[in-house]
Amino acid sequence: MKSLRNSVQLIGRLGKDPEVKEYGDKKKAAFSIATTDTYKNNKGEKVEDTQWHNVVIWGKLAGVAEKYLKKGAEVAVEGKLVHRIYETDKGEKKFFTEINVNDFVMLGNKKSA
């Protein structure tokens, strides 16, 4: 069994086209996906709770994401959580949590607007 210590699987829709950057011979694709849970509150009303997740894909898989993934596309991603901190030029600390993707599957057509 593969390691389950730091494993994330999500299905969601892209909030924007992947932003692709190249670092020498290595490619990075970054985008966000939205996941939505639906439940009924204590008044019986339907409530939708949407969460946004930052996603990063490296290497050859980033090229596949760049070519085929577009805003609105539904995708399943599998990877691990990574937490990063960096300091801005103004000395402010910025905290990020993102999913470093090992694999993804394109699930369907773009959701109709």
pLDDT band at 40 (very low <50, low <70, confident <90, very high): very high
| pLDDT score at 5 | 85
How many domains, the chain?
A: 1
Token pair for 26: 């290595």
Please, which pLDDT band fits residue 1 given cuts at 50, 70 and 90?
A: low
Q: What span, in angstroms and rounded, lies between the C-alpha atoms of 61 and 59?
A: 5
In a domain, 13, yes or no: yes
C-alpha 40/C-alpha 62 separation (Å) is 38
Reported as a single tens digit per residue, the pLDDT across 58-113 is 999 999 999 999 999 999 999 999 999 989 999 999 999 999 999 999 997 655 44
**CATH code of residue 85:** 2.40.50.140
Q: Which residues pair with 81 in a beta bridge?
A: 99
HSE value, Cβ hemisphere, 13 Å, CA-based, for 5:
2
Domain of residue 65, residue span: 8-38+46-106
